[in-house]
Structure 1
Amino acid sequence: MLYEHLGSKPRVHDTAVVAPTAVISGDVEIGPHCQVLHGAVVTAEGGPITLGEHVIVMENALIRATAANAVHIGDHTLVGTLASIAGATVGEEVFFASGARVFNGARVGARCEVRVNAIVQRRAVVPEGTVVPIGWVATGDPVQLFSPDRADEIAAAQPELDFPGHVFGVDRDTPDLMVQLTERYGSSLARHADDRPVIE
């Protein structure tokens, strides 16, 4: 289903196929020969999303842009089942396996592989041709790859992430952090109350 959000309607190339149970919302451009399968959600929450040519978004994947971080996905990229990409730039011919996660401000170069349940952290820059192994974490610029059992090293490699501040505009040291975060984010998401289905 296509939804107009914040005055923007999705634009889907006439050769692309969007499953009837997929949700495409807001300032989204889907290029030629793309496939967006059942249960996938592609939602522009204040920033634009562009999918190049021959991009495949598998079942129940999530692609989300924010006002701070748009999304661009290059040609011939596959976004696997249950994968999520938030506010990232992705090159051409990239493979995201099932459960892969890419966070705001990340850049993934052409012909990379982000394997099952691997994570690309906020603002990480993954060079062309890099493989992020199953369950591993990519962080930093230049990128470092860590196995998931190296949590202290992962944290040390990304001291300036400030996820609550960058993504939600709330300082991490706020005494009532989750109260502020959920109220602010909830208010932003409430704008979906005015969304309208796009009738073709």
Structure 2
Amino acid sequence: MTDPLILPFNGKTPKIHESAFIAPGCKIIGDVEVGPEASIWYNCVIRADVNKITIGARSNIQDGTTVHCDSPTSFTPYGYPTIIGEDVLVGHMVMLHGCTLEDRAFVGLSTTVMDGCVIEGDGMLAAGATLTPNKRIPTGQLWAGSPAKYMRDLTEQAIEGMRLGVSHYVENAKAHKAAVEAASN
């Protein structure tokens, strides 16, 4: 079993809440903060070498996802950190780069979210979509395609399903954390 790599970089050490689950095979580098009951699943890369990355409470970053950020420039003096709020669902094999996912946002499988993008709470990016730079998905909307565009408003049932997904991942992460700890002993 490959333990996660937690690597300080440029004087910044990842800060990971003790209740978070960090799966074996993950690489977490630099100015990263992971909140309570968040989960970073198998073989994810969270690389905050040129800006910061925050992952809020109970959010999950599913298997194979890469999260990065963008450096400050003369055009973007603060660059683009990646800010992931609380209760966010991020599907498998996602690429997040210099974007903001507000509390309760949903990002589907194999999507790309680029610099300056914002997905508001209860907004959803469908599987396989690409959200091009500086786009915003408003609350309650589903966007899909490559490049992504508005498809329709989400139903209350779909929004409730996203919230149930968050609860499922919090509980599943606890079970995986216990299994990893048992295997290590």
Flag whether TM exceeds 0.5 (same fold).
Answer: yes
Which residue number in structure 2 is paired with residue 193 of structure 1? none
Encode CA deviations 1:87-138: one digit per residue, 9 max, x unaligned: 00111111111101100111111111111111111011221121013x3423
Give the total of aligned pairs.
140
Q: Tell me how far apart the structure 1 counterparts of residues 91 and 40 of structure 2 sit (CA, whole Å).
A: 11
Encode CA deviations 1:147-200: one digit per residue, 9 max, x unaligned: xxxxxxxxxxxxxxxxxxxxxxxxxxxxxxxxxxxxxxxxxxxxxxxxxxxxxx
Q: Tell me how far apart the structure 1 counterparts of residues 147 and 26 of structure 2 sit (CA, whole Å).
A: 29
Q: Tell me how far apart the structure 2 counterparts of residues 66 and 5 of structure 1 sit (CA, whole Å).
A: 15
| Structure 1 residue 3 displacement after superposition | 0.6
| Structure 1 residue 145 displacement after superposition | 3.6
Q: Would you say 1:36 and 2:40 are equivalent positions?
A: yes
Q: Which runs of 4+ in 1 moved over 3 A?
A: none
Structure 2: segments with no counterpart, 5+ residues? 72-78, 152-185
Q: Tell me how far apart the structure 2 counterparts of residues 3 and 130 of structure 1 sit (CA, whole Å).
A: 37
Could you tell me whether the CA contact under 8 Å between 1:45 and 1:66 is conserved in 2? no
Encode CA deviations 1:55-108: one digit per residue, 9 max, x unaligned: 111110011112210011111111111111100011111111110110011111
Which residue number in structure 2 is paired with residue 124 of structure 1? 135
Q: Would you say 1:75 and 2:86 are equivalent positions?
A: yes
Structure 1: segments with no counterpart, 5+ residues? 139-143, 147-200
Q: Tell me how far apart the structure 2 counterparts of residues 91 and 50 of structure 1 sit (CA, whole Å).
A: 11
Q: What letter corresponds to residue 3 of structure 1 in structure 2?
A: L
Which residue number in structure 2 is paired with residue 95 of structure 1? 106
Which residue number in structure 1 is paired with residue 124 of structure 2? 113
Q: Tell me how far apart the structure 1 counterparts of residues 134 and 49 of structure 2 sit (CA, whole Å).
A: 19
Q: TM-score, normalised by structure 1?
A: 0.67
Which residue number in structure 2 is paired with residue 65 of structure 1? 69
Q: Tell me how far apart the structure 2 counterparts of residues 111 and 43 of structure 1 sit (CA, whole Å).
A: 26
Which residue number in structure 1 is paired with residue 147 of structure 2? 137
* Percent of residue pairs identical: 24
Q: Tell me how far apart the structure 2 counterparts of residues 52 and 40 of structure 1 sit (CA, whole Å).
A: 16
Which residue number in structure 2 is paired with residue 141 of structure 1? none
- Pairwise CA RMSD: 1.3
